[in-house]
C-alpha cells in the first residue's frame, strides 16, 4: 500500500479529541475542517507555569537518494512514547509546495508513521505559506514604491537586497529585471522560494506577535547612497506585514495515524535558514507534554547544528536527547555503492559508510547532548548489514536501535522510545558550539573545522568585506547560518562519506538581521530551486473519485 492509501484507510479522531488528548480545550481551537485546527494565541499566552517537558531532536546522516526517514522516525518515536505511557507531542515543519511538485514529493512521514491528513498538510494546509509569501512581497512592493515616489530615503536601487518569493520551484525567476515600461527604477532583482525568505525564518523564531513585528522592523532591505543600512522599520512595513501574518502565527494542530497530537508549523529551509519548526509551537508543546519530539532539516551537519546554535540559543531551549537516523541503504551509498546496486547485501560498504554516521555522532556530542541511533529498517536490509551498524555504534558507546515503525507503527519503535526516556532522564549538558562574542569569520571557521572537518575556509574578498561591515554595524554577536549542500560535509554534493582536510569556499554572506543570524553561502547553493527533468508534478492528479493521486 502507498502512504496515501494507508492514510486514507485510517480512522482519524475529530480534532477536538486530539486537542483534548494534549490538554487543549475545544474553545482554544479554530477548526479548519474535521481534522486540523489552529491553536489560539490567547490560550497559549494564558498557559500556566509548569516544568517544561523533555525536548528530543531527530536528525540524520547526510541525505542520499536512498532516503533516510527523519519525519517517519519522528512520528514513530512519538507514537512509541505514547504507547509506553508517556505524554508525547510532535513538532514538525510544514512541507513546501516546491519540493512536493519537484523531486522530493510529500513530507508528512510514511507507512504507519504519518501525520495526517497528509494530502492537506502537503498542499495548502491552513494557508500559512501563502501569508508568508504575501508579507514578504508586500515589503518588496513597499521598497520599490519608496523609490518610485521620489525616493525620500535615498535608497540606492543597486543596493536593494530584499528579494521577492514564491513557494514553487521556478528557476526562470532566479534573476529578473523589474521596473520596465516606466514602472519604477529599472534594476536587477530575483525570486527565492518562500521557505528561504527571512520572513519565514523570523516567523519561526518569534515567540509572539509583538516580537514578530520587532524582528520585521530590524530587517535590512537595502543600503542608501550614504552607504547606511535601510530597514523595514524605515519602510513602515511591519504593521501591515504583521496583519498578514497574525492568523498564520497560531500553531497548526493535527494528529498521527495513532492519534498522537502534532504541531506542524513553519518551514524554513535548512540551507539558507535554520530548518526548524516554529519556536511558538515548540514552547507550547513543552508546556503541554512530557516529551516533545522535533526534527531539524537535512543531515546533522546542517539541521542539528543550526537547531543547537541558532534556535536553542535564541529561544533558551535545552534539548534533552538526540536521535540520528540512518538506513542501511544510505550508508551503503556513503560507502561507495551506486543506487541501482543497493538491493544486494554489502556489509563492507555499510562498514565503509559508517564513517559518515560516526562523525555525526561525534558532532552531536560536542554540544553536550546525549545521542542514540535509529536504524530505519527497509525490508531488503540483511541481518548482517544491520548488525554492522549496531556494532559500529557500540564501539563508540552509542546504542543503535533497529526500528520498524514504517511497517509496524508505534510497536516498531518501542526500544528507541525506552532509550530516549533513559537518556533524557540523565540530563543534558547542552552548550552551543561557539560564544556570542567570537568574530563572525571565526564562527564560520569554527563550524567548518569542528562540524565539517575542513582544514580552513576560503572567504571571497566581497564576503570578507561584508563581514567587517556587519561587525561595524553592530551585528558581530549574531550566530552564523551555514548555507551549503546537504549531501556532503563539503560544499561539493558528490563527495560522500566523511571527507576531511578540505578548504570550504565561502563565496558570499547575507545579513538576516530580523531573524538574528548571518548567512554564509558556501559553494553553488541555490535559494530558488529548479524542477528536475522528471518532476513529481507529472504524477499528481485528481482521480475519478475526486481523490488526489501521486502525492507521496
Known catalytic residue at 359 = no
Which one from 101, 298, 307, 308 is the annotated catalytic residue?
Answer: 298
Residue given cell 576560503 in the structure block: 458
Known catalytic residue at 93 = yes
Which one from 270, 352, 454, 498 is the annotated catalytic residue?
Answer: 270
Report cis status (omega within 30 of 0) of the bond before 117.
yes
Which one from 203, 263, 378, 475 is the annotated catalytic residue?
Answer: 378
CB 103 within 8 A of CB 429: no
Nearest Cα residue to 417 out of 390, 399, 396: 399
Nearest Cα residue to 371 out of 80, 49, 114, 59: 59
* Whole-number Å distance between alpha carbons of 195 and 214: 20
Known catalytic residue at 298 = yes
Which one from 59, 71, 72, 126 is the annotated catalytic residue?
Answer: 72
CB 333 within 8 A of CB 64: yes
Known catalytic residue at 78 = no
Which one from 21, 54, 86, 93 is the annotated catalytic residue?
Answer: 93
Q: Spell out the alpha helix ranges (H) of 246-278.
A: none
Joined grid coordinates for residue 372:
542514540
Q: Which residues pair with 61 in a beta bridge?
A: none
* Whole-number Å distance between alpha carbons of 460 and 466: 10
Which one from 104, 174, 351, 365 is the annotated catalytic residue?
Answer: 104
* Whole-number Å distance between alpha carbons of 462 and 381: 48
Nearest Cα residue to 19 out of 282, 261, 286: 261
Known catalytic residue at 270 = yes
Which one from 406, 475, 502, 552 is the annotated catalytic residue?
Answer: 406
Query: Buried b vs exposed e over 498-518: b needs ≥16 C-beta within 10 Å?
Result: bbeebebbbbebbbbbbbbbb
What own/partner pairs with CB < 8 Å and gap ≥ 24 does 22-26 have?
22/89, 22/253, 22/261, 22/288, 22/289, 23/288, 24/253, 24/261, 24/288
Which one from 21, 38, 54, 70 is the annotated catalytic residue?
Answer: 70
Known catalytic residue at 104 = yes
Catalytic positions = 70, 72, 93, 104, 270, 298, 378, 406
Amino acid at each position: 500500500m502507498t502512504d496515501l492509501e494507508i492514510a486514507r484507510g485510517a480512522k482519524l479522531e475529530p480534532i477536538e479529541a486530539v486537542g483534548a488528548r494534549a490538554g487543549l480545550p475545544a474553545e482554544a481551537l479554530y477548526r479548519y475542517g474535521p481534522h486540523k485546527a489552529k491553536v489560539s494565541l490567547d490560550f497559549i499566552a494564558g498557559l500556566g507555569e509548569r516544568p517544561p517537558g523533555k525536548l528530543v531532536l531527530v536528525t540524520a546522516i547526510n541525505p542520499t537518494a536512498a532516503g533516510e526517514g527523519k519525519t517517519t522516525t519522528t512520528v514513530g518515536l512519538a507514537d512509541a512514547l505514547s504507547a509506553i505511557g508517556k505524554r508525547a507531542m510532535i513538532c514538525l515543519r510544514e512541507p513546501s509546495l516546491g519540493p512536493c511538485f519537484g523531486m522530493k514529493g510529500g513530507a508528512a512521514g510514511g507507512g504507519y508513521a504519518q501525520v495526517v491528513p497528509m494530502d492537506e498538510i502537503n498542499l495548502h494546509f491552513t494557508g500559512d505559506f501563502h501569508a508568508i509569501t504575501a508579507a514578504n512581497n508586500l515589503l518588496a512592493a513597499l521598497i520599490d514604491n519608496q523609490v518610485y515616489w521620489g525616493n525620500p530615503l535615498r535608497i540606492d536601487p543597486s543596493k536593494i537586497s530584499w528579494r521577492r518569493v514564491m513557494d514553487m520551484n521556478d528557476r526562470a525567476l532566479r534573476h529578473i529585471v523589474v521596473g520596465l515600461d516606466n514602472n519604477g527604477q529599472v534594476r536587477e532583482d530575483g525570486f527565492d522560494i518562500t521557505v528561504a525568505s527571512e520572513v519565514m525564518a523570523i516567523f519561526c523564531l518569534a515567540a509572539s506577535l509583538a516580537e514578530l513585528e520587532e524582528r520585521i522592523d530590524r530587517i535590512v532591505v537595502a543600503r542608501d547612497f550614504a552607504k547606511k543600512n535601510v530597514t523595514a522599520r524605515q519602510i513602515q512595513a511591519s504593521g501591515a506585514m504583521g496583519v498578514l501574518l497574525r492568523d498564520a502565527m497560531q500553531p497548526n494542530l493535527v494528529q498521527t495515524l495513532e492519534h498522537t497530537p502534532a504541531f506542524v508549523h513553519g518551514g524554513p529551509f535548512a540551507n539558507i535558514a535554520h530548518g526548524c519548526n516554529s519556536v511558538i509551537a515548540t514552547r507550547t508543546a513543552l508546556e503541554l507534554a512530557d516529551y516533545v519530539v522535533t526534527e531539524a532539516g537535512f543531515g546533522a551537519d546542517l539541521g542539528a547544528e543550526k537547531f543547537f546554535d541558532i534556535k536553542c540559543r535564541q529561544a533558551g531551549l535545552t534539548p534533552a536527547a538526540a536521535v540520528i537516523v540512518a538506513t542501511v541503504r544510505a550508508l551503503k551509498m556513503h560507502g561507495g555503492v551506486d543506487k541501482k546496486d543497493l538491493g544486494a547485501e554489502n556489509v563492507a560498504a555499510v562498514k565503509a559508510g559508517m564513517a559518515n554516521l560516526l562523525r555525526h555522532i561525534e558532532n552531536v556530542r560536542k554540544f553536550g547532548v546525549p545521542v542514540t541511533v535509529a536504524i530505519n529498517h527497509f525490508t531488503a536490509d540483511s541481518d548482517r548489514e544491520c548488525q554492522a551498524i549496531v556494532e559500529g555504534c557500540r564501539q563508540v558507546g552509542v546504542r543503535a536501535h533497529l526500528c520498524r515503525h514504517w511497517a509496524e507503527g508505534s510497536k516498531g519503535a518501542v526500544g528507541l522510545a525506552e532509550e530516549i526516556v533513559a537518556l533524557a532522564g540523565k540530563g543534558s549538558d547542552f552548550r552551543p558550539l561557539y560564544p556570542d562574542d567570537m568574530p563572525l569569520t571565526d564562527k564560520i571557521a569554527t563550524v567548518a573545522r569542528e562540524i565539517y572537518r575542513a582544514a580552513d575556509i576560503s572567504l571571497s574578498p566581497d564576503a570578507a568585506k561584508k563581514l567587517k561591515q556587519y561587525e561595524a554595524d553592530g551585528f558581530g554577536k549574531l550566530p552564523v547560518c551555514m548555507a551549503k549542500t546537504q549531501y556532503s560535509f563539503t560544499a561539493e554534493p558528490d563527495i560522500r562519506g566523511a571527507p576531511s582536510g578540505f578548504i570550504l569556499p565561502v563565496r558570499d554572506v547575507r545579513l538576516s538581521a530580523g531573524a538574528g543570524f548571518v548567512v554564509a553561502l558556501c559553494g553553488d547553493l541555490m535559494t530558488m530551486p529548479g524542477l528536475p527533468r522528471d518532476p513529481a508534478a507529472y504524477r499528481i492528479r485528481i482521480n475519478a473519485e475526486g481523490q488526489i493521486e501521486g502525492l507521496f
